[in-house]
Amino acid sequence: MDSMVIVRLEGGIHHENCRRLELELARALEHRPRRLVVDLSRLDFCDTAGLNSLLRIQESARADTRLVLAAPSRPVQGLLDITGTDTVFTISPSVRAALTAADPSGHTRDELPS
């Protein structure tokens, strides 16, 4: 089991490409990482279809995988805030913070088994 997987998103997530996003994130989950970090810092736009894709991936993550949304851009953070999903997701201010934060089992990055 890999400790962590980072997926960096750029541009926009919308109804036309959200299925592809779900497939890519589901593929990342196949590796059963302890943590799946989705870097949102370069995401210019996300509509509700994209948000629903992220919610579906969170639901499909196994109990041993923690989905972390890292560094959401201003527009994405606004969508998370206005929809109330900022309380549903684990959100980290940066990818670095997402990688070094303790996971639910209490391990830090340096302590995670490979």
Model pLDDT for residues 25-59, shown as the tens digit of each residue = 999 999 899 999 999 999 999 999 999 999 999 99
In-domain check, residue 9: yes
Instruction: Decide if 101 contacts 92 (C-beta within 8 A).
Output: yes
Residues 6+ apart with CB under 8 A from 6: 37, 39, 95, 99
In-domain check, residue 88: yes
- Residue 56 belongs to a domain with what CATH number? 3.30.750.24
- From residue 60, how far is each of 27, 72, 77, 93, 105 by CA, in Å? 11, 21, 22, 24, 19
Domain assignment of residue 28, given as a range: 4-104
Q: Which residues pair with 90 in a beta bridge?
A: 68
In-domain check, residue 110: no
Average pLDDT over residues 12-26: 95
In-domain check, residue 113: no
Residues 6+ apart with CB under 8 A from 86: 77, 80
In-domain check, residue 111: no
Q: Give residue-wise pLDDT tens across range 50-87.
A: 999 999 999 998 788 999 999 999 999 999 999 999 99
What is the domain count for the chain? 1
CA angle 69, 74, 76 (to 5 degrees): 50
In-domain check, residue 114: no
pLDDT at 111 over 90: no
Determine the Cα–Cα distance for residues 54 and 21; give it in Å rounded to an integer: 9
pTM for the model: 0.85
